[in-house]
Every structure is written in C-alpha cells, then in structure tokens.
Amino acid sequence: MHRVIQHTTPSVLMLLLIIGVGLHIIVDTQNAYCSDDQWQEIGQNEGITLYRSVNETEGILPFKAVAELDIPYDKIIMALVDAERKPDWAPKLKAIAIHSQITTNRFEYSEYYKTPWPFKDREFLLIGTVIYERDRVVFSAVNSENKSLAKKDHLTANIQELSFTVTPISVTRTKVAFAFSGDLGGWIPAFVKTIIQKRWPVRFIQALSNYVADNDQLETNRYRSLDKAALEVPDAIF
C-alpha cells in the first residue's frame, strides 16, 4: 500500500542547493557510472554499503554508497537544501557560493573543500538541479562551463557524475544513494584516493544523519519554496 504525500507548489522557487554533494540531474541509466550493473559491492562500513565501478579509468575517482536511515525523507531534503548550514556538518566543506538561479529548480554554484597539505584546496563549480520523481527525490550536478567564476587559489574538479538520491521506504525510514565519478584535479596518491572512496561517502552520510537527528528546526523558507510534486511513500497507513 502506498500513500501519496502532497506538497504545496509555489509559483516562485527561491534559492536551493544540492549536495554536493551537493549535490542534481536525474541519473541517466545509460551512463557507465550510474547504471546499477556498472557498480560492484565491495563491503560495508558502519552499516553503509560501498561499491566500486567496474569500469574505472586512470585519473577518475568513482565511488558509490548506499544506506537506509531511520529518518523521514523530507527531513533529509530540508538539510540538503539549507546551503548556509551545510558547511557546519559536511566533511571538509569550507563554504558554498550560489552564483545564479538559472530556472526554478536549476542553479549555478560552487562548493569549496579543504584539502590537507601539501594538496591544494578544491572547488566544485557546478550546475545543480533537484527533481521530484514519483517515488524519490534526486539531487544531481554537472560541471558549469563558466570558468570565470572559479577561484584562482583552488583546483577545479571535473565531474562526470554527481548524484544523491533520496527514496522513502516508509514514513519514518529512507534509503539514500550517493554516487560520484570525476577528476579531482591535480595529483593525488593512489592510497589517498582509496581513503576518499572508502571513507568520505560514509562520513558524509553519517554527518547528514547526525545533523538531522540533532536538529529540530530543519524547515527553512528555501525548503518551503521548493517546486515539489506528490511523492509515493511505501507501506504508509491511511
């Protein structure tokens, strides 16, 4: 049995932000890094299932992490779109700048990440979108071509895929899937890439979960202004 949860749909969508994460385009099932059969499970870390790409190429860092959280899906959305407070919990994230609103649900923005010495800090200069589908919400992003917005003292990452999918599996429980592949820019030792693949997505999901659990006031004007659609929630009781 499913319950359809209705959301108001305001005519004007204010600023919103990813993930990542943030993170926006609907995952293309034809993409080599998105299709489920292109990922191989490599184990679990603290209840989070990790995957590696079966088509890894030199210079590209891919990872995927999937978890089920005892959190209502809408609270996860609230936290992800609160750009101002995302640096308070997202690992290594220093700041976020939203450069422009392209359409009601599409934005150009930068995320700035701290990298340990001697590596240069990274910037993700992206165009991000949030899409409400029938049974899930997809945050995704692609590279922005407006390189004039990039900071000169940061290396700019080049992403192939960036998505964070939020799927309710009950009224109080949610499945999240975090997938990424791209070139972080500059030279990074192989052992550092391995650490990033195995630890960073786990830390991100854990930090998000803890942040939501510790904060009662998650709903913001930005969340209320999202252009939402009805979403089906499995096993809901009328």
Q: Domain holding 49: CATH number?
A: 3.30.530.20
Q: Is residue 236 one of the residues assigned to a domain?
A: no
- The residues, any chain, with a CB within 8 Å of residue 71's CB and separated by 6 or more, are 172, 173, 174, 209, 212, 213
Cα of 221 vs its chain's centroid, Å: 20
Q: What is the pLDDT of residue 50?
A: 93
For residue 89, is it left (φ>0), alpha (ψ between -120 and 50) or beta? alpha
Q: Is residue 138 one of the residues assigned to a domain?
A: yes
Q: What is the pLDDT of residue 59?
A: 67
Q: What is the pLDDT of residue 28?
A: 35
Q: Is residue 12 one of the residues assigned to a domain?
A: no
Q: Is residue 230 one of the residues assigned to a domain?
A: no
What residue ranges in the chain does DSSP mark as E strands? 2-5, 39-45, 48-53, 61-69, 93-103, 106-113, 122-132, 137-143, 155-156, 158-168, 174-183, 231-234
Give the pLDDT means over successive 10-residue stretches in the chain (238 positions): 42 32 34 60 91 77 93 95 92 94 86 86 94 95 95 93 94 95 80 81 96 93 86 71
Q: Is residue 10 one of the residues assigned to a domain?
A: no
Q: What is the pLDDT of residue 144?
A: 96
- Residues, the chain, total? 238
As given in the structure block, the two tokens for residue 192 are 């550092």
For 128-145, give one letter per residue: b (16+ CB within 10 A) or e.
bbbbbeeebbbbbbebbe
As given in the structure block, the two tokens for residue 233 are 């929630």
Q: What is the pLDDT of residue 20?
A: 39
Residue of 71, 4, 75 whose CA lies nearest to 238: 4
Instruction: Please provide residue 97's backbone torsions phi and psi, each rounded to the nearest 5 degrees.
Output: -125, 125
Q: pLDDT tens digit string along 121-170?
A: 999 999 999 999 999 999 999 999 999 999 999 999 999 989 999 999 99
Q: Is residue 59 one of the residues assigned to a domain?
A: yes
Three-state secondary structure call for residue 18: coil
Q: What is the pLDDT of residue 35?
A: 53
Measured CA to CA, the distance from residue 160 to residue 174 in angstroms comes to 26
Q: What is the pLDDT of residue 18?
A: 34
Q: Is residue 151 one of the residues assigned to a domain?
A: yes
Domain that holds residue 52: 17-219
Task: Calculate the alpha carbon distances from 230 to 2, 112, 117, 207 in Å.
Answer: 12, 33, 46, 28
Q: Is residue 41 one of the residues assigned to a domain?
A: yes
Q: What angle do CA 47, 48, 52 make, to 5 degrees?
A: 140
Count structural domains, the chain: 1
